[in-house]
Amino acid sequence: MSESFEQLIDPLGRHIEDLRISVTDRCNFRCTYCMPEEGMQWLNRSDVMSFEEIERLARIFVERYGVKGIRLTGGEPTVRAHLPVLISKLSKLVGPDGPVNLAMTTNGATMRLVADPLKQAGLKRVNISLDTLDRAKFHQMTRRDELNNVLDGICAAQEVGFDPVKINAVIERGINDSEILDLATFGREQNVEVRFIEFMPLDAEGHWMNDKVVGQAEILEKISAKYPLEVLPARGAAPADRFRFLDGGLYGEGSPGSMIGVIPTVTKPFCGDCDRVRLTAEGDFRTCLFANNEFDLLTALRSGESDDQVADRIEAAVATKWAGHQIHQVNFTRPSKSMSQLGG
């Protein structure tokens, strides 16, 4: 580990401690809020970061700047060949506060096949996307008939010992908002923490409208009508507001199924506490999911720049991190890329 530890701090005094890395822009789903059904222009393999390049950049963030958490995203990360090899490399990174906390967000469709190799390689936590429990609606939202495989994948993740297993559910009015209570019940029964995510203006078709957003207050009202809730203390820069079931759930206080989370990106932005940055699959560094600029680190690596030179680029980029995404403001501009290309 580097002995010259520095803190990576943006202009508003926020400490950067969380890095999201997209390992591929490809996906085996076509979720309506993420990418178009057809016509995606995939990156050439030569334009995607290699495992060695990902490891090198991650090492700078962890060992030089003390980044505590890395989350792998896509596209769908499990479609990247030999993913456990990358997990093994990253899981060995150690910062000033100890080993990096390595997590992954996945659609879960192939978890039955990959859960154990990923766990053995050093992956600590998984978030699995599940927006509906209805097979027909699942097909409508993902354009794939994979609900049974996702449900089995959740079980597989639990069986190999990922703890906790969290479920990400994007709620869109008129699509799956009638299932909010069903998803909360699923979390209680399956002993997983369901995190409800407000629908964000990153859909590939550009059809997002504010009236499609189901806000945090409405989500909580629907759930608490059957399962009374109380708010849990905030956890630093964590994006989700968390709530516990007053009855303790079916598995007892403190179990994953005894609580839910809501990520209120639109109605209650958490930008003021944001500690995250991200790398796209082609090695572009972004300081915000909604940023309109990005900084090419992969070209810097491939042109032979030293770690110190790359670090200077990272610091210069973080110096541009803005106060927030400005959704609902007149000067808000949608990013030019869809969620799958950004590594959301």
pLDDT at 328 over 80: no
Q: What is the pLDDT of residue 261?
A: 97
- Identity of the residue numbered 39: G
Mean pLDDT in residue range 174-194: 97
Give pLDDT tens digits for 284-314: 999 988 777 899 999 999 999 999 999 999 9
Q: What is the pLDDT of residue 208?
A: 52
Residues 6+ apart with CB under 8 A from 125: 101, 102, 103, 104, 162, 163, 164, 165, 166
Q: What is the pLDDT of residue 191?
A: 97
Give pLDDT tens digits for 91-144: 999 999 999 999 999 999 999 999 999 999 999 999 999 999 999 999 999 989
pLDDT at 153 over 50: yes
Instruction: Report the predicted TM-score, pTM, of the whole model to 2 decimal places.
Output: 0.91
CA distance 209 to 266: 11
Q: What is the pLDDT of residue 1?
A: 46
Give pLDDT tens digits for 42-67: 889 999 999 999 999 999 999 999 99
pLDDT, averaged across the chain: 90
**203 falls in which pLDDT band (50, 70, 90)?**
low
CA distance 43 to 36: 15
The residue among 258, 323, 237, 276 whose CA lies nearest residue 105 is 276
- How far separated are the first and last CA of the chain, in Å rounded? 29
User: By percentage, how much of the chain surpasses pLDDT 90?
Assistant: 74
